[in-house]
Structure 1
Amino acid sequence: MKLSAGDRILKIVIYALLSILAFITFYPFWNSLVLSLNVGFDTSSGGITFWPRQFTLENYAVVFQEKNIYNAYLITILRTVIGTVCALLFTSLFAYAMSKKGIMFKKTYMILAVITMFFSGGIIPYFILVYHLQLYDTFLFLVLHGMVNVYNMIIFRTFFMELPDGLEESAKMDGCSNFGVFFRIVLPVSGPVMATLGLFTAVFLWNDWFIPAVFISNQNLIPLQTLLVQIINAGTTASLMTNLNSYAQSMVQNTVTVKSLQMATMMVATLPILMIYPFLQKYFVKGVLVGSLKE
């Protein structure tokens, strides 16, 4: 179909605006990557925008010489994997129950769940609760925190309500229990919504630094993002070098600055989760929209 002159102009304007928006969104990440690949003392002089002026990998060498970086990586990976699996399992089970008719006090449960989306007890009562449950400074708390998300539960619930009743009826006629129906019938057909909400949960767990900073004092249980914040908060070279070994300290004294090390650590913490997006992108629109067509 041939476009009119007005349609072509509108199309050009739309693409131009989208290109500008994409550039504004992508440039800060690209500039941080460039700064992390440039010699630290040269970065201090400014003027680096799109390409490194003095390319180096010493910033990353110092990052991987940090005492706790590998342990923090392990804690973050374990928390993200285990926490995402548990969150999807328990949230979907809750949502599946809320999608069924005839559940006693179903409306009451939903009201109580929705209230938690708008109101909370605050960080101090939460801290007291966690402490008395003996979850303070434990890896189990990192997994349990945020395991049931009400927003995700509502999306799951709506998706389950759209499934044909015949699927479950035929399974129950073959002798399946409620758990059998859920694990053998419902979950296998919930791939798009599971992938979408699973990625949202994984990104939240990977990026969460505040909760571990408040509830974890053991340095061996500190996740990567919390460690990143500690490095970023090291505003001077002296405060930064207290956490580095002798090899890394010598590199900081010679070429690496606090800013360049901050950029390198940021890239190390961000790139792994970004690499997952392309593999699950196709599920985004389908998964969220399918689960949000009706109440």
Structure 2
Amino acid sequence: MFTLQRKTKGEALFDLINTIGMILICFITLYPIWYVLVNSLNEGTDAMRGGIYWWPRVFSIENFKAVFESAGIMTAMGVTVAKTAVGTVAHVFFTAMVAYAFSRRGLIGGKIYILLGTITLFFGGGLIPTFLLIRDLQLLDNFLVYIIPFLFSFFDLIIFMTFFREIPEGLEEAARIDGASDWSIFLRIVLPVSMPVIATIALFHGVWQWNDYFTGMIYINNTDLQPIQTYLYRVVAQSSSNQMMVAVQGSAGTQTVTSQSIKLATMVVTTLPIVFVYPFLQKYFVKGMMIGSIKG
């Protein structure tokens, strides 16, 4: 039978402080998101009066109508979905393939490669040399600029390599006895048993790809190839310099939205998709982060 032990006053006080602290951290983290959502659902001109903190004062979806009626937002959303999906799959596969080679004990020059890769974690070439390289590779105004430069990450390689080295060598030896090649072992044995680390890296890179606005801002001039985050950047920049109101026709007569309310609605539209995906990958994320921390 289980016996319940009463907590001492010190332990009870410690738990109380921890609980209050976590509640404060959650509030500080979540309230800005709630504030943006509430104001995006409020009528634009009314929101300019301020004082909206918890609930919309004059509920309206005209802000979101104005966002989705914009000519470029759906194109930008399509570019973002495409580059996130293709970029994440390509990054995970290529990095895992290189990490599998690095995880083999007999790799010639393996220590030198590890040293060179470690240096790249602390030093980079800079923006101007990178821009010149992208230009010489003819990737300016090219969708592949979202994919090729980000195929490989040495930080992700370390996570993959740590996991691969914990896979029992007997699996690979048995496959080789059956005549399997390196490609067969990698595709049919290594990848299927590596789903936790694959999901972790996919989450890392997928979130980064979704949130990346800098690549589209620097290397893309064609608005049809710019992602949603670059579109949001333009909306924020324009609303900061131009606070004039925009009239849109609503179901209950003419309603008004402002550049500020459109900005908030755009932020909600660009943020919610990745927020909804995260909980489904969280269990893999937690397990993947523990890779290599415990051996037994």
Q: TM-score range by the shorter chain?
A: over 0.9
Deviations 1:128-179, CA, capped at 9 Å, x for gaps: 1111111111001111232211111000001111111111111111111011
Task: Pick which of 273-282 and 4-13 moved more.
Answer: 4-13
Structure-2 residue corresponding to 1:283: 284
Say which structure, 1 or 2, has more relative contact order (CA 8 Å, 6+ apart).
1
Name the structure 1 match of 2:191: 187
Give 5+ residue unaligned stretches, structure 1.
Answer: 242-247
AA partner of residue 99 (structure 1): S
What is residue 163 of structure 2 aligned with on the other side?
159
> Does structure 2 retain, via aligned residues, the 8 Å contact 1:237–1:257?
no
Query: Residues 1-295 of structure 1 correspond to what in structure 2 (within 5 A)?
Result: 1-2=4-5, 3-235=7-239, 250=248, 254-292=255-293
Contact 2:248 2:257 in 1 (8 A): no
Offset at residue 5 of structure 1 (A): 2.7
3-state SS in 2 of match to 1:234: helix
**Shift in Å, 1:239:** 8.2
Contact 1:155–1:292 (8 Å) recurs in 2:
no
C-alpha displacement at 1:238, in angstroms?
Answer: 5.4
Deviation per residue, 1:166-195 (Å, 9 max, x gap): 111111111110111111111111111111
In 2, distance between residues paired with 1:10 and 1:175? 60
Code of the residue aligned with 1:87 in structure 2: it is H
Deviation at 1:250?
3.5
Percent same amino acid at aligned positions?
A: 44
* Residues 1:147 and 1:126: Cα distance change in structure 2 (over 3 Å): same
Higher percent of residues as strand: 2
Contact between 2:62 and 2:248, CA under 8 Å: does it hold in 1?
no
TM-aligned CA distance change 1:57 to 1:176, over 3 Å: same
> Aligned residue pairs: how many?
288
Q: Is the 8 A contact 1:158 1:292 kept in 2?
A: no
Look up the equivalent residue of 1:15 and give its one-letter code: T
* CA root-mean-square deviation: 1.9
- The 2-side partners of 1:130 and 1:41 are apart by 44
Q: Distance in 1 between matches of 2:293 and 2:100?
A: 15
